[in-house]
Amino acid sequence: MTATNSVAGFTGTGTVFNPATGEIAGEVQWTDPSDVEKIAAGLRTAQREWEQRGAKGRAKALARFAVWLGDNRDEIEKLLIAETGKSSTDAAQEVPLLIMILSYVIKVMEKAVAPEVRPAPSAVLSIKKIAIHFRPRPVVGVIAPWNYPVANALMDAIGALAAGSAVLLKPSEQTPLTAELLRQGWLASGAPDVFAVVQGAREVAEAVIDNSDYVQFTGSTATGRKVAERAASRLVPYSLELGGKDPMIVCEDADIDMAAHAAVWGAMFNAGQTCVSVERVYVLESVYDKFVAAVVRDVEALQMGAGEGKHFGALISEQQLAVTERHVKEALAAGARALTGGERASGPGSFYQPTVLVDVDHSMACMTEETFGPTLPIMKVASVDEAIRFANDSAYGLSASVFSRDVARAKDIALQLDCGAVNVNDVISNLMCTTAPMGGWKTSGIGARFGGVDGIRKFCRQETVVAPRTNLGAGGNFYHNSLKTLARSNQVLTKLALARPRRIAK
């Protein structure tokens, strides 16, 4: 066992280490995979009463939990820093984001789960009342990653709880501690026992999939495929938020200082360990030198380290640091230049120096594979069309950004990019826009999180109830009618059904 949250065995009790200092962050009790079925069964029992509370009753419980998060923010962030090696700047983002999501969900959840009346498709069926009811899936399994162990643990769970589902959370085995604290807070706020946490690695994750009615997974594309295959074998629906290689396009008319500030923050925030981080930049040649100089200026002012007063902290593990090292070394060997950084930091902890790479191209892994580290490769392009072509030359399609003083032009460019979201003159902000869906194209995922009421309804099954407005006309096709009556009825139905198509065809 090393000081980078690498754990082995996953039986009994494990020790979690701070990757920045090597100090012990805490102890975790690993879950026996065979116990997950029983835990899920308990959630199913508790879920019935949770659903019966209705949206208003559930909203009160969620509101009390939001208050608990605010009251205990300092304790949560202290533990978050201890198990991830984050800077306090990075750690400070997670609890406020959850409170914002809770506040929004509380406002819209009653509308989200209210029955939806649908119009009759034709005059013949106007005697029917058609309503769509949204019934929660009993147990939603959430398999969360390590990069934002507080926010990613709950940002999807909140929607599931609002829908009336119970939540079975498996946090990353590298960051298990904050999940336990969040569950304690859920119960301490007076909420029912419909939120359970199980701890472990692959075997526990598989047990979660096998005992859930819906699976929400956030993580790598490779693991996402395995999650999808296992869920599909049970015909269980799932949503996958996977990897990204998010491009930024800087046009010749961009505000260069603003674009540089955004690129540096978007690439280095959380040590680059963000699914929607800026992973590659395409800059028009007329402003390339000015942009690169501004980026280097900003990066050289950054302070790296865990805790207070630092801009970003450690990478989560030596394994993650090794990926960053490989991408940079391979790029340098192929002709790229590092204008800052270019190697791991000296001293203890899994820190990597913030690195700006130039003279890069798409033959290099730093431009095509997800790095998830504090690197910023910048490529010169001759035209916007070339930038769009390179941006779309990727297996990924999570999000992107476009910088131009002409917002209408930037929007036009955005709609030519193959990804789930595009920020104009900003980065990462789409993650905060909970009224809109956040989902990836291509190998960046299936489905979406958030999206207004859809972010709650995705955890529901739709049940259509067709009821009579009156008994008149009921049973027109039943066998007890004469064949002559059935023939006349079918003629009338055909005539009525063809009325609109005939008018349009003319």
Give catalytic residues, as residue numbers.
241, 275
Closest-CA residue to 51 (of 155, 154, 139): 139
Written as one string, the DSSP assignment of 338-352 is EEE--SBPSSSSS-B
**Sequence-distant contacts of 342-348: CB under 8 A, at least 24 apart:** 345/304, 348/3, 348/20, 348/21, 348/22
The span from the CA of 483 to the CA of 191, in Å, is 60
The span from the CA of 150 to the CA of 95, in Å, is 7
Q: What tokens appear for 367 in the block?
A: 């431009």
Question: Helix (H, G, I), strand (E, B), or coil: what is residue 54?
Answer: helix
At position 500, the amino acid (one-letter code) is R
Mention every residue, 6+ apart, whose C-beta is less than 8 A from residue 60: none
Asked whether 403 and 257 are in contact (CB, 8 A), the reply is no
The distance of Cα 327 from the centroid of its chain, to the nearest Å, equals 25
Mention every residue, 6+ apart, whose C-beta is less than 8 A from residue 179: 144, 149, 153, 169, 171, 197, 199
